């Protein structure tokens, strides 16, 4: 079983308007409400791949109920921990080719809730083959929180895949317990290392070999339309992907993470792991809906990917 963790999920609302009129009432019947958050994008793609996946994290209030119901409607197993606060809304207004977003910060989590969630997490992790931890932390949660989750994974010999940025990631890199795989994109790794990074092989090799990544088996840098540069133990890979028609690349990183989780639990080779992850990233980029893939095009893209050990 694959466990996915989303600590600050949302109910994402998108409103489509012909034009956005500031300081006026804007009306629309074109709207969409979905369970959102990076971990839930990963979950949906894993579900499409027919992997046994359980989504967890924190939820609260009526929007928390909506989130749970929406996963149930898609037959996705979920076991969120109930908090006092309310799950947030994130709003995207699509107008005149633009996307204007309003993102709520979300609830503040109490120390008691965090302690109880840790127990909830341990119970789920003890039944899992891999844990995927994605996204930012809600208010009230210490930046080193993911280190404690990874420590629990370690206790149960469950590999962890971590996809987060900023302080939450820095703290894990500083900590004693390491995830099996991290996947910063080029901007995230540049921010982490505090320097601009060129996309040539030597610069990328140097970046992923930085001592801050010591003891992390897989360091994967996703490069959008340029594929991936990855380090696995002492091997380096450049993944070249074909040119595709892109519709909406948001969530491609999450889709890619689903690919890593699926390939890893199915004991794939390094080449298969990288191909699956990139195929899913590309498939997401070809769709309007975030965290959705059309598997009909899977083999065609998969066979066009080139893995070069460098």
**134 near ligand ATP, judged by CB under 6 A:** no
| Span from 95-103, 131-139, 249-257, 264-272 in contact with ligand ATP (CB under 6 A) | 249-257
Contacting ligand ATP (CB under 6 A), which of 285, 293, 301, 307? Answer: 285
Radius of gyration (Cα) for the chain, nearest Å? 19
Contact of 293 with 280, CB cutoff 8 Å:
yes
**256 near ligand ATP, judged by CB under 6 A:** yes
Contact of 109 with 83, CB cutoff 8 Å:
yes
Q: How far is the CB of 36 from ligand ATP (least distance, A)?
A: 12
| Span from 88-96, 103-111, 202-210, 251-259 in contact with ligand ATP (CB under 6 A) | 251-259
**185 near ligand ATP, judged by CB under 6 A:** yes
Nearest residue to ligand ATP on Cβ basis? 253
| Span from 78-86, 120-128, 147-155, 223-231 in contact with ligand ATP (CB under 6 A) | 223-231
Size of interface with ligand ATP, in residues (CB under 6 A): 21
Contacting ligand ATP (CB under 6 A), which of 42, 241, 258, 307? Answer: 241
Which residue, 18 or 299, has its beta carbon nearer to ligand ATP?
299
Q: Which residues lie across from 173 on neighbouring strands?
A: none
Contacting ligand ATP (CB under 6 A), which of 4, 87, 252, 262? Answer: 252
Residues 6+ apart with CB under 8 A from 264: 130, 159, 161, 180, 181, 273
Which residue, 114 or 180, has its beta carbon nearer to ligand ATP?
180
Which residue, 39 or 249, has its beta carbon nearer to ligand ATP?
249
Q: How far is CA 59 from the centre of its chain?
A: 18
Q: What is the 3-state secondary structure (H, E, C) of the chain?
A: CEEEEECCCEEEEEEEECCCCCCCCCCCCCEEEEEECHHHHHHHHHHHCCCCEEEEEEECHHHHHHHHHHHHHCCCEECCEECCCCCEEEEEEEECCEEEEEECCCCECCHHHHHHHHHHHHHHHCCCCEEEEECCCCECCCCCHHHHHHHHHHHCCCCEEEECCHHHHHHHHHCCCCCCEECCEHHHHHHHHCCCCCCCHHHHHHHHCCHHHCCCCEEEEECHHHCEEEEECCEEEEEECCCCCCCCCCCHHHHHHHHHHHHHHCCCCHHHHHHHHHHHHHHHHCCCCCCCCCHHHHHHHHCCCEEEEC
**278 near ligand ATP, judged by CB under 6 A:** yes
Q: How far is the CB of 223 from ligand ATP (least distance, A)?
A: 6
**227 near ligand ATP, judged by CB under 6 A:** yes
**224 near ligand ATP, judged by CB under 6 A:** yes
Q: Binding pattern to ligand ATP, positions 59-98, x when CB under 6 A?
A: ----------------------------------------
| Span from 60-68, 101-109, 194-202, 216-224 in contact with ligand ATP (CB under 6 A) | 216-224
Contacting ligand ATP (CB under 6 A), which of 250, 265, 268, 289? Answer: 250
Q: How far is the CB of 276 from ligand ATP (least distance, A)?
A: 11
Q: Which residues bind ligand ATP (CB under 6 A)?
A: 185, 222-225, 227-228, 241, 244, 246, 249-254, 256, 278, 281-282, 285
């Amino acid at each position: 079983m694959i466990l996915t963790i989303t600590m600050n999920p949302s109910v994402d609302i998108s409103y489509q308007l012909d034009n956005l009129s500031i300081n006026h009432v804007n009306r629309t019947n074109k709207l969409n409400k979905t369970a959102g958050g990076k971990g839930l994008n990963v979950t949906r793609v894993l579900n499409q791949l027919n992997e046994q996946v359980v989504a967890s994290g924190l939820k609260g209030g009526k929007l928390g109920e909506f989130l749970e119901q929406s996963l149930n409607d898609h037959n996705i197993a979920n076991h969120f921990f109930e908090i006092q606060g309310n799950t947030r809304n994130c709003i995207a207004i699509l107008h005149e080719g633009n996307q204007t977003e309003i993102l709520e910060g979300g609830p503040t989590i109490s120390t008691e809730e965090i302690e109880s969630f840790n127990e909830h997490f341990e119970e789920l992790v003890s039944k899992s083959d891999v844990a995927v931890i994605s996204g930012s932390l809600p208010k009230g949660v210490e930046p080193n929180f993911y280190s404690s989750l990874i420590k629990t994974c370690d206790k149960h010999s469950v590999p962890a895949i971590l996809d987060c940025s900023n302080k939450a990631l820095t703290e894990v890199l500083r900590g004693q317990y390491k995830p099996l795989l991290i996947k910063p994109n080029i901007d995230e790794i540049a921010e982490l290392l505090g320097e601009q990074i060129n996309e040539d092989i030597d610069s990328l090799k140097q970046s992923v070999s930085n001592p801050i990544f010591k003891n992390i088996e897989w360091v994967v840098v996703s490069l959008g339309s340029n594929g991936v540069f990855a380090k696995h133990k002492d091997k380096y890979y450049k993944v070249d992907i074909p040119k595709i028609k892109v519709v909406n690349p948001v969530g491609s990183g999450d889709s890619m993470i689903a690919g890593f989780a699926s390939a890893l639990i199915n004991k794939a080779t390094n080449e298969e792991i990288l191909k699956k992850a990139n195929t899913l990233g590309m498939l997401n980029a070809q769709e309007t809906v975030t965290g959705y893939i059309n598997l009909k095009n899977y083999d065609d893209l998969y066979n066009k990917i080139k893995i070069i050990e460098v």
